[in-house]
A = this chain, B = another copy of it.
Amino acid sequence: MWYAAAWEWEVAEADNKLARTICEVPLVFYKSESKGYVALDNRCCHRSAPLSLGRVEGDCLRCMYHGLLFNPAGEVIEIPGQDHIGANMKVRSYPVCSKGGMLWIWMGDADRADESDIHDFPPLSQPDQWRGFDRGDYLHYDANWLLIVDNLSDFSHVAFVHANTLGGSEAYAYDTQAEDLEKLDNGFKVVRWHRNSAPPPFHRKVIPAAEHEVDLDRCNTMAMYLPGVFLMETLFEPVGDNADQGRRREYRNCQFMTPETRNTTHFFWDYLHGSDLDNPDIAVSLKDSLMEGFMEDKIFIEEQQKLLEKSPDFAPKSFTADRAFSHFRNRWKIRLQEEDETQPLQIKDNPRRIL
Give A residues with C-beta under 8 Å from B.
21, 24, 26, 42-43, 45-50, 53, 62-67, 79-82, 86, 88-89, 150, 154, 156-157, 159-161, 170, 173-177, 299-300, 303-304, 307-308, 310-311, 314, 316-321, 354
Contacts and interface: CB of A to CB of B under 8 A. Distances in A.
Nearest to A89: B317
Residue of A81, A161, A175 with highest tally of chain B CB at under 10 A: A81
Nearest to A55: B160
A106 B83 CA distance: 44
A320 B66 CA distance: 12
Given A81-B156, A156-B81, A303-B49, A173 B66 contact: yes
23 contacts: A21-B310, A26-B311, A43-B304, A43-B311, A46-B318, A46-B319, A47-B354, A48-B354, A49-B303, A50-B300, A50-B307, A53-B299, A53-B300, A53-B303, A65-B157, A66-B321, A80-B156, A80-B173, A81-B173, A81-B320, A81-B321, A82-B321, A86-B319
Contacts of A174: 80-81
Contact of A317 (B49, B88, B160, B175): B88
Contacts of A67: 156, 159-160, 170, 173
B159 A303 contact: no
Contact of A43 (B62, B88, B314): B314
B43 A320 contact: no
Nearest to A303: B50
Given A88-B317, A307-B42, A150 B47 contact: yes
Given A24-B310, A79-B319, A81-B174, A66 B154 contact: yes
A177 B79 CA distance: 13
A316 B86 CA distance: 13
Contacts of A24: 310
A65 B176 contact: no
A274 to B, nearest CB: 29
A178 to B, nearest CB: 9
A143 to B, nearest CB: 11
Contacts of A303: 49-50, 53
A174 B83 CA distance: 10
B66 A156 contact: yes
B320 A46 contact: no
Contact of A86 (B42, B81, B177, B317): B317
Contact of A65 (B80, B175, B300, B314): B300
A81 B177 contact: yes
Nearest to A68: B319
A318 B88 CA distance: 10
A88 B316 CA distance: 10
Contacts of A48: 304, 307-308, 311, 314, 316, 354
A317 B45 contact: yes
B26 A310 contact: yes
A173 B24 CA distance: 34
A19 B320 CA distance: 29
A317 B173 contact: no
A79 B156 CA distance: 10
